[in-house]
Amino acid sequence: MGEEMEVWNSHGDGVVRLPEGFVVVGVTENCEYAAVADEARRFYGLQFHPEVVHTPRGKEVLGNFVYGVCGCEAEWTVSGFIERACDAIRKQVGESGGVLLGLSGGVDSSVAAALLQRAIGERLVCIFVDNGLLRAGEREAVRRVFEGTFGMKLVVVDAGEGFLKRLRGVKDPERKRKIIGREFIRVFERTARELMRGEGGEGIRFLAQGTLYPDVIESVPIGGNPAALIKSHHNVGGLPKRMRFELVEPLRQLFKDEVREVGKELGLPEEILWRQPFPGPGLAVRVVGEVTRERLEILRAADAIVVGEMKAAGWYRRVWQSFAVLLPVRSVGVMGDERTYDYTIAVRVVESQDGMTADWVRVPYDLLGRMASRILNEVRGVNRVVYDVSSKPPATIEWE
């Protein structure tokens, strides 16, 4: 028996016959062609995922291929990326062009803002769209940090009514994402026109986004890759084909851990860098089914409890994401001496390296108990809390 190593090979497809010249060099319990090689031509193939944290020696496998087989050298550095990205931004935007950035306060858009500010300075204008789908206290925090601390040009737009109106009666998650994407651009274009009519606004022709590589992979096939679309992302598949701005996406080739390294190099504080990922469509994809003001308020209150308890217990920085989901399921319960028929909240906590794969976290029972107890006692309209123990794949991190 040869050397053994732990690998992640969660998949539904498989190789049924090897091409000529290949031999098997690795097997798993459910895959007879887990690793194959054609040593004469130096061709190699894997039927497991070396790129995920669940394959402990995966980086070693990739390193052997990149450096040993391909003969590449490690020349990429964070500082080098920042320098190249700033040069690319200046070249694309020109010497006088203005750039609008949709600033959510999350890691991606915040790092994009810091990068753009370094590249073009005051020609960057950040727009924060309050779409009515945000977490508790989000609007106030963004204004305090970016307008107050960093001195960026920030325009806050209250657009919640418009988003809720267009989402009325919509239950399909893909339709939600497309509607939110289109409305987001409408708001941007309207705000941009107003800015263009102001002093110095005639040069604003670009829209910047914090698109990351996982967003692109999950939204569209890349370079002939046969992978199917998993879900449209707010800043990828949700964009209309015809729009007034040219896109600037300086983080498009990076994963989340690399984005945090770039942000650290740019001097962003830890409270921004270590914010957990938040979907572009906001709470709309965590309200399973139709989005209403009432259901948003229920979810917002429950989500604040989950995040607050995770931080208080010292678990927030230890996981990739932790949040609440409002299910379209009502069940019978008892509150006091009365029968209730209220909603169910699902708590989702996952660990991941880059968002491409994830595993559910074995959160201590007492922490889960505090979350559930507070949600049931403090959030009106909820009488049941469940914990999601699904990994990605086969599930996605978000429910929609």
Q: What is the pLDDT of residues 31-76, one digit of tens each?
A: 889 899 999 999 999 988 898 777 889 899 999 999 999 999 988 8
If we measure between CA atoms, which residue out of 317, 321, 251, 255 comes closest to residue 286? 321
Q: Calculate mean pLDDT across residues 191-208.
A: 76
Question: pLDDT of 82-130, one tens digit each?
Answer: 999 999 999 999 988 789 898 888 889 999 999 999 999 989 999 999 9
Q: Is 48 exposed, middle or buried (0-12, 13-18, 19+ CB in 10 A)?
A: buried
Mean pLDDT of the chain: 88
**Cα–Cα distance, 195 to 302 (Å, whole number):** 37
Question: pLDDT of 225-284, one tens digit each?
Answer: 444 444 454 444 444 455 567 889 999 999 888 999 999 999 888 888 888 988 889 999
Q: Find residue 317's DSSP bridge partners.
A: none
Question: pLDDT of 126-163, one tens digit each?
Answer: 999 999 999 998 898 888 888 887 788 999 999 999 99
Helix boundaries (H) for the chain:
58-63, 78-93, 107-120, 138-142, 160-167, 173-196, 213-219, 256-265, 270-273, 293-312, 365-378
pLDDT at 234: 45
Give the predicted TM-score (pTM) of the model: 0.71
